[in-house]
Structure 1
């Protein structure tokens, strides 16, 4: 049975991603800052007959918490097949680039960028033990430099400087990581779940959580003939699903 760790998995897109992967036969570890909330999420899944799920305490902003989660998971499994870096924050709005304090940038980058790097570093050894490891970084179309330089820029009514910058950095890291692992069996991709109605945006997005999670799952279950180093965005590339960075 393949294993997957999802950060920020106790609610919303992370939780639904866990549900869909469980339905496909994966054993899912739900990474959550609050273990009690994680265990409650697992209970909801098990009530629906999805038994192969466990909660793991992990705060991506805290290096010691990440190390502890790695140690716990290392006692449970010998290999991790999929890592989904889903945990993220939006920061306080609005985020004008000239008025937003540096402290706000640092706070958002700590979760959206440095947290992803730290978690990836911590679990890369377990991923290397898998015959077909997958790393998925959940990003946003707002982090695409290409899209912000063409007519799609006008699509976005708000331009949150902090959030955009953090996701642009995440996209760049995804490209670099995929290139480093290009001659291995790894598939490393970024996924834009789309503008989805969640707590993240006060439920203002037009997309649904199940549809958003399905986009993440598609990258998680890629076969060996699938691409790596790509930016999946059905919103911005409806025909192929792969958008320019």
Structure 2
């Protein structure tokens, strides 16, 4: 394995994903910019390289099996392996999204990207991650997916779109299961919450910058070998499941 750390960040052409790539690139890592739109992917790579990062584009649509398989083959050929996977790609889905109004097709679309996409990409990358000396998987979740917080008296999360919220609860459960399955390996799997970050997912209504939202992913990607596994964290520390 190359001594230089290699990471793949999905949905890295903009927003939090781009800033995760930038943050890891600033550490001297080689960064795979996973994105399905060629123009946006190339633009993000050019911008990262202009800032001094060692970045390369990875064509990747997380909703397609063949795309995930091809992305793994591409990384193996062009980078020689993978140390860190950051599953960042996500969508909110069409509105309205109260439980009584959401169209089932919207829920399927959101889960396809936010949950099944994570399984699809993670499983495609696992052989390379297992070969790494310090492999990490970071799933970008949200505190709105916490069942504990959803049911805590006095905590009001506002009107969170139901399909998006359910997908993050689903992702949290999936993170725990991956951590359990990989508990006898060196692969550390954790979930991170970026906080209410201004991105196009919320019409840029968030109160945190994309760079601030990316910080937890950079942290979890760089935890030591005795670091946490199967945890859920934000900048302040553990988040209840």
Q: TM class by shorter-chain length?
A: over 0.9
Matched, 1:15 2:18: yes
Cα drift, residue 120 of structure 1: 0.6
SS in 2 for 1:175: helix
Cα distance in 1 between the residues matched to 2:180 and 2:122: 15
Give the TM-score normalised by the residue count of structure 2.
Answer: 0.96
User: Deviation of residue 153 (structure 1)?
Assistant: 3.6
Structure 1 counterpart of 2:63: 61
Q: In structure 2, what is the Cα distance between the partners aligned to 1:150 and 1:91?
A: 26
C-alpha separation between the residues in 1 aligned to 2:98 and 2:199?
23
The answer (yes or no) to whether the contact 1:30–1:55 under 8 Å persists in 2 is yes
Contact 2:75 2:81 in 1 (8 A): no
Task: State the shift of 1:224 in Å.
Answer: 1.0
Q: Distance in 2 between matches of 1:224 and 1:151?
A: 37
Residue matched to 1:115? 117
Q: Deviations over 1:118-144 (max 9, x none)?
A: 001111001011011000000011110
Q: Provide the residue aligned with 2:180 in structure 1.
A: 179
> 1:79, 1:128 within 8 Å by CA — same for their partners in 2?
no
Using the TM superposition, give the Cα deviation of residue 94 of structure 1 relative to its aligned residue in structure 2, in angstroms: 2.9
What do you get for the CA RMSD once the two structures are aligned?
A: 1.1
Residue 35 of structure 1 deviates from its aligned partner by: 2.1
Matched, 1:31 2:27: no
CA–CA distance in structure 2, aligned partners of residues 171 and 125 of structure 1: 22
Task: Check whether the contact 1:7–1:86 (CA below 8 A) recurs between aligned residues.
Answer: yes
Deviation at 1:77, TM superposition (A): 3.1
SS at match of 1:6: strand
SS in 1 for 2:139: strand
| Counterparts of 1:110 and 1:142, CA distance in 2 | 19
Residues 115 and 167 in structure 2, CA contact (< 8 A), matched pair in contact too:
yes
Tell me the residue number matched to 1:101. Answer: 103
**Which structure 2 residue ranges, 5 or more long, are not aligned?**
none
SS of residue matched to 2:7: strand
Aligned counterparts of 1:190 and 1:142: Cα–Cα separation in 2: 13
TM-score of the pair, normalised by structure 1 = 0.94
Instruction: State the Cα distance separating 1:36 from its structure 2 match.
Output: 2.3
Matches of 2:79 and 2:58 in 1, distance apart?
13
Alignment of 1:165-204 (within 5 A): 165-204=166-205
TM-fit CA distance, 1:71: 1.4
Pairwise CA distance, 1:151? 3.0
Secondary structure at 2:147 match in 1? coil
Give structure 1 regions of 4+ aligned residues with deviation exceeding 4 angstroms: none
1:3 correspondence with 2:6:
yes
Match in the other structure for 2:221 = 220
1:79 Cα deviation (Å)? 2.4
Q: d(CA) in 1 for partners of 2:153 and 2:94?
A: 27
Aligned residues: 238
Secondary structure of the structure 2 residue equivalent to 1:146:
helix
Question: What residue in structure 1 maps to residue 238 of structure 2?
Answer: 242
Contact kept? 1:136, 1:191, Cα under 8 Å: yes
